[in-house]
Amino acid sequence: MSNTKETRVLEALKIESLGKGLTAAQIESRFGVGNARATVSSLRMKGYAIYANQSTDTKGRTKTFYRIGTPSRAIVAAGNRALANG
């Protein structure tokens, strides 16, 4: 990948994965991305394990935080089965 918005989002997710992660609003405002969910989906299709974790604050508002992680063995096995059947 070149120095695109996707690349910058990916690098930020790698850094933020040690903390809580980034919300869609943070991704859109920091990197000028029009649709954070589409950007995350595109990165996932390129093989990056990006997880969406929801958190609810004391006022009942729910936010989704994206972070990069390591896929579980079950996920890797499911991907290998899909490739073998496809």
Give pTM, 2 decimals: 0.79
Which pLDDT value is given to residue 67?
93
Which CATH number characterizes residue 81's domain? 1.10.10
In this structure, what DSSP letter does residue 35 have? -
Give the chain's radius of gyration (CA, Å). 14
Instruction: Return mean pLDDT, the chain.
Output: 89
> Above pLDDT 90, what percent of the chain?
66
Which pLDDT value is given to residue 61?
93
**Which range of residues forms the domain containing residue 65?**
5-85
| pLDDT tier for residue 28 given thresholds of 50, 70 and 90 | very high
Q: How many domains does the chain have?
A: 1
pLDDT in tens, 50-86: 999 999 989 999 999 999 988 889 988 988 999 898 6
Give the largest Cα separation in the chain, rounded: 47
